[in-house]
Amino acid sequence: MLKNPLHTLRRHTAATLLALTGLAAATGLTGCGVDYSWNPTPPPGWSSTFYDSDLNGYWRLVEVNSQYVSSYDTNFLYFNGDGRGVYYYYSNGRRYWENTAYWCQRAYGGNSSYQINIQYESSGAPTTMNYWFTDRGDILWMQWRNEYGLQTYVYSYQPYAPW
């Protein structure tokens, strides 16, 4: 499936990412590994799914519904490129994590050409949302409706784990 060329602006070479990963490992800044024993499947009706390479890496939550999120209250999404990831969050200053699985597909309608479905290991119900990028691909927007109305989360790309 061809993606919109405006969607693919952020570029990092494999050598740069390997160097950053090596630096993080050498300094003890690695995150938890992805658990492949948990094996969810795409949601019913999702055909032509793909893994969007523009999502790869760490994304820090910076804004929720136009409200700034402080670094003390933030969370991170990590996408590993093959449909697996990790959700990192803070509670009382301590970092916790859980595995995620994700699938992307072309959206029909709404303000985005793409949708993502994220399944959290601790939750039975996956979340489906529209997503798009701004600022040359370094800002990720996710938007969906729930019982509280329209939700808009804004994430900033991080080239490596911040811990």
Length of the chain: 163
User: Percentage of residues in the chain with pLDDT exceeding 70?
Assistant: 76
Mean pLDDT value across residues 7-21: 35
Q: CB–CB of 61/76 below 8 Å?
A: yes
Q: pTM score > 0.85 for this model? A: no
Least Cα distance to 130 among 113, 146, 147 occurs for 113
> CA-to-CA distance for 77 and 58, rounded, in angstroms?
6
Encode pLDDT of 38-82 as tens digits: 777 777 777 778 899 999 999 999 999 999 998 888 899 999 998
Q: Is residue 5 very low, low, confident or very high in pLDDT (cuts 50, 70, 90)?
A: very low
CATH number, domain 5-158: 2.40.128.360
> CA-to-CA distance for 68 and 59, rounded, in angstroms?
15
Q: CB–CB of 69/89 below 8 Å?
A: no
> CA-to-CA distance for 163 and 160, rounded, in angstroms?
9
> CA-to-CA distance for 124 and 96, rounded, in angstroms?
19
Q: CB–CB of 133/54 below 8 Å?
A: yes
pLDDT of 132 > 70? The answer is yes
Question: What tokens were used for 103?
Answer: 């699938």
Q: Is residue 36 very low, low, confident or very high in pLDDT (cuts 50, 70, 90)?
A: low
Higher pLDDT, 31 or 112: 112
How far, in whole angstroms, is CA 79 from its chain's centroid? Answer: 5
Q: Tell me what pLDDT residue 22 has.
A: 35
Q: Is residue 7 very low, low, confident or very high in pLDDT (cuts 50, 70, 90)?
A: very low
